[in-house]
Amino acid sequence: MVFKLFKNADELYDEGKELLKRGEYDKARDYLQKSIDKDGGPDDAAAVKVALIDLKDRLTNVNAYQNLLAKLEAFNEDRFEFGLSEVSRSELITECQLTIRKIQLLSSGGEGQQLMDKAQKLQQLAQDYQAQIGDRHLIVLELFKNDTSVTGMSEFFNLMAVSYECMSDAVVWENPAQAAEYEQVAMGYRQQNGQSGDTNMAKVKAYSTTCTCWLCGRIATGEGIHFYTAPADVSPALDDKDKPTARSRPDAPGHIYICRACYSAVSNRSDEISREYYNQAVQEMRAMEMRLQAQIAALQSQIAFARMSR
């Protein structure tokens, strides 16, 4: 029997495959990488598997998906094994491409028109998930999270909801009633996806609530954006519960509605007053500190004098 000191690339690769089946990803990666170093090429199945393992803990990292995508595009088999699963190369390529777009889009910010553009792209992406993955579940989540609940369709509903939420954010400053309509649509998509849609409902309610400002009498729509609820001492004689148009206080007692303009004027003025008091207090503290320092110095010289004359 010949004692074999070094394993060849195929043996290393097979060892890596076995470790993958047992879910020992780090060890599997070592063996697969060694087999690539010995005998691998860019079109190697081992390269695809290493890229997949590297993705495992970086599921929101664009570079990890781009790396996997490059390895898959260079690879020329239709299907390959990964652990106990069999993976379709073309399906995984599609999933990588869509996921890269999704991560990039969701991490982009902006306001106004930028948000409207983002919403448009999110809808396009949602439709691509629907058309290209449909009822199939996402491969990566199955491989690493054992989760087969996320499908092309659930991604479609989710992204459509996010798209309408983006549009709502884009217009709420100018047009809260329109924002409330967008939130309503978003809620529908969330509910079709098995979510409660409670956050959307709360926004629909807030954005479509109209009030009369207690201070200036203007009508404002959009609670939390264009008007606020503020604590106040409302005596019964002042109450306007039966006012037919927009209310100037909520049902909760001891509160009134204030429009954004009045609210900001009052709070800016109160900030100014607080700042004046603060500066005054600091000044008085400094004066007191100087007086105390002077007294301490006087006492110290008296003690020194007493010691000398002992």
Stretch of 118-126, 178-186, 196-204, 210-218 lying at the interface with Zn ion (CB under 5 A): 210-218
Separation between Cα atoms, residue 279 and residue 286, nearest integer Å: 11
| Nearer of residues 190 and 247 to Zn ion, judged by Cβ | 247
Q: Is 262 in the site for Zn ion (CB under 5 A)?
A: yes
Stretch of 63-71, 97-105, 138-146, 208-216 lying at the interface with Zn ion (CB under 5 A): 208-216
Stretch of 20-28, 84-92, 206-214, 298-306 lying at the interface with Zn ion (CB under 5 A): 206-214
Our CA angle for 166, 64, 68, nearest 5°, is 115
- Pick one of 74, 84, 216, 297: the residue that binds Zn ion (CB under 5 A): 216
Q: Is 215 in the site for Zn ion (CB under 5 A)?
A: yes
Q: What is each CA distance from 246 to 78, 177, 186, 208, in whole angstroms?
A: 65, 15, 27, 12
Q: Is 126 in the site for Zn ion (CB under 5 A)?
A: no
Q: Is 211 in the site for Zn ion (CB under 5 A)?
A: no
- Pick one of 20, 139, 213, 256: the residue that binds Zn ion (CB under 5 A): 213
Report whether 152 contacts 133 (CB < 8 A). Answer: yes
Report whether 61 contacts 82 (CB < 8 A). Answer: no
Q: How far is the CB of 182 from Zn ion (least distance, A)?
A: 26
Q: Is 238 in the site for Zn ion (CB under 5 A)?
A: no
Separation between Cα atoms, residue 43 and residue 224, nearest integer Å: 56
| Nearer of residues 103 and 215 to Zn ion, judged by Cβ | 215
Q: How far is the CB of 218 from Zn ion (least distance, A)?
A: 5
Q: Could you report how far apart the first and last alpha carbons of the chain are, in Å?
A: 104
The number of helices, as runs of H, and strands, as runs of E, in the chain is 11, 6
Separation between Cα atoms, residue 207 and residue 169, nearest integer Å: 11
| Site of interaction with Zn ion (CB under 5 A) | 213, 215-216, 259, 262
